[in-house]
Amino acid sequence: MRQSKGIAHHAPPPPTGPVPYDQEFSQVLLRDMLRIRRLEEKSAELYGAAKIRGFLHLYIGEEAVATGALHALTPEDNIVATYREHGHALLRGVPMGRIMAEMYGKKEGCARGRGGSMHLFDADARLFGGNAIVAGGLPVAVGLALADSMRGTGRVTACFFGDGAVAEGAFHESVNLAALWQLPVLFCCENNLYAMGTALECYESQPDLTAKAASYGVKALAVDGMDVVAVHEAVKAARTRIAAGQGPIFLEFKTYRFRAHSMFDAELYRHRDEVEEWKTRGPIHTFSARLKAEGKLDEAQFLALDREAEQEVEQAVEFAEAGEWEPVGDLLKDVYTPGGPA
Ligand SMILES: Cc1ncc(C[n+]2csc(CCOP(=O)(O)OP(=O)(O)O)c2C)c(N)n1
Ligand SMILES: [Mg+2]
């Protein structure tokens, strides 16, 4: 048995090269990474104040993945995500107030307060969860893609999941069928190197996750998940190919979470130095630095975007605070009980 601690997971060198977007779109990407970051920092604070209960998993450090990817998809595409999905929901267009209200357990939440942080859901936004079960979203994504393929809708389903999901049977069953039936699925593996407190090398016989997907005949590529540009370009190209009927694609985004797995994690499995090293590759500050160097951003603009994000968070908290609890008598409504009362 190998121990997690002691394996050094070095951060890759910072991204270089010109940002291939105009000032406006570049700032949209930066703004959205900031919106996710500020929403989650506030969520952590509210968890400490017992306003948010249950589980809470933060995406801090990984924002470039959801941001680059969601901006490369169309609003008609389907999104399936994990329990680390606040950013995906937000960029899908679920109002921040409805996300916050959901975390509070209020009726105004996007799942009427019944799902909480791990089960953000909004069918109108084509966000099909949030899922607490590791790899639980993968068969859902394949089912959505099968429906789209049979109906000829032209939609693509983007399914986000962690590195840990690749060790689950559901991953293999899903990729196998998607490949066999050439379904329009984009498998987006958010490889942050750990599944809870276990490092990838300690639970994967084949730590190159692209090799696993490739064994099903699926095109599989690794992408720098700390670079919003690399993510955006990879997803754009993959979406075009999938929409052209060329079958599913697997993208492994190499990323890192700066915070603990969840709010209950003493982080005994990794060294502080490793976390600090990856923080120097933080997607927000490396992207800001590139934009500044190219004259597409100045400090005043950065501060204005950040202030806007903070104001949106404040309003979201006000919305959640003003929300209502579902009456206790309604709690059995919509609960499916086979053979039970109608
Ligand atoms: C089927 C299943 N097994 C175990 C768990 C407990 N569990 C919750 S999160 C997690 C780790 C998953 O890691 P990864 O897929 O890499 O996602 P990350 O948390 O790193 O984003 C585990 C094992 C679960 N939720 N579901
Ligand atoms: Mg992981």
CA 165 / ligand 1 centre spacing (Å): 7
CB 185 within 8 A of CB 145: yes
Residue 14 has pLDDT above 60, yes or no: yes
- Report yes or no: 135 and 212 within 8 Å, Cβ to Cβ: no
**231: alpha, beta or left, given left = phi > 0 and alpha = psi -120 to 50?**
alpha
- DSSP annotation of 225: T
Please tell me the distance between residue 6's alpha carbon and the centre of ligand 1 in angstroms. Answer: 22
- Residue 3: pLDDT band (50, 70, 90) is low
- β-strands 219-224, 198-199: how paired? unpaired
Which H, E and C letters describe 62-122, residue by residue? Answer: CHHHHHHHHCCCCCCCEEECCCCCHHHHHHCCCCHHHHHHHHHCCCCCCCCCCCCHHHCCE
What would the pLDDT profile of 108-164 be if each residue is shown by its tens digit?
999 999 999 999 999 999 999 999 999 999 999 999 999 999 999 999 999 999 999
Which residue has the least CA distance to atom 4 on ligand 1?
134
Q: Which segments of 206-298 does DSSP mark as H helices, in order?
A: 209-214, 228-243, 272-279, 283-293
Look at residue 340 and tell me whether its pLDDT is greater than 70.
Answer: no
- Which ligand 1 atom sits nearest the alpha carbon of residue 84? 21
249 with 222: CB under 8 angstroms?
Answer: no
pLDDT at 7: 74
Q: Is the CB of 225 under 6 A from ligand 1?
A: no
DSSP per position, 303-334: HHHHHHHHHHHHHHHHHHHH--PPPGGGTTTT
Report percent pLDDT > 70 for the chain: 97
Q: Atom 2 in ligand 1: which residue has the minimum CA distance?
A: 134
Domains of the chain with bracketed CATH: 23-320 (3.40.50.970)
Q: Which of 55, 80, 196, 265 to mutate to test the pocket of ligand 1 (most atoms within 8 A of CB)?
A: 196
Give the residue from 182, 204, 185 showing the smallest Cα distance to 193. Answer: 204
Which atom in ligand 1 lies closest to the alpha carbon of residue 163? 16
Atom 6 of ligand 1, residue of closest alpha carbon: 134
Place of tokens 């005043």: 300
Please check whether residue 274 is in contact with residue 53, taking contact to mean a CB–CB distance below 8 angstroms.
no
Is residue 134 in contact with ligand 1, taking CB distance under 6 Å?
A: yes
Q: How confident is the model at residue 2 (pLDDT cuts 50, 70, 90)?
A: low
Separation CA 83–CA 195 (nearest Å):
13
- Integer-rounded Cα radius of gyration of the chain: 20
pLDDT at 5: 59
| pLDDT tens digits for range 70-113 | 999 999 999 999 999 999 999 999 999 999 999 999 999 999 99
CA 267 to chain centre: 21
> Distance from the CA of 259 to the center of ligand 2, in angstroms?
12
Nearest CA to ligand 1 atom 5: 134
Q: Which residue owns the Cα nearest ligand 1 atom 13? A: 195
How far does the centroid of ligand 2 lie from the alpha carbon of residue 275, in Å? Answer: 14
Q: Three-class SS of residue 52?
A: coil
Whole-number Cα distances in Å, 304 to 39, 298, 313: 16, 10, 14
* Whole-number Å distance between alpha carbons of 230 and 295: 20
- Cβ atoms of 227 and 283 within 8 Å: the answer is yes
* pTM of structure: 0.97
Q: Is the CB of residue 282 below 6 angstroms from any atom belonging to ligand 1?
A: no
Mean pLDDT, to the nearest integer, of 45-66?
A: 97
pLDDT cut 90: percent of the chain above it: 92
- Segments in 8-77 forming alpha helices (H): 23-48, 63-70
Strand partners, 253: 190, 223
CA–CA dist 270, 122 (Å, integer)? 35
Q: Is 84 in the pocket of ligand 1 (CB under 6 A)?
A: yes
d(CA 316, CA 227): 28
**CB 163 near ligand 1, within 6 Å:** yes
Given the DSSP bridges, would you call strands 78-80 and 157-162 parallel, antiparallel or unpaired?
parallel
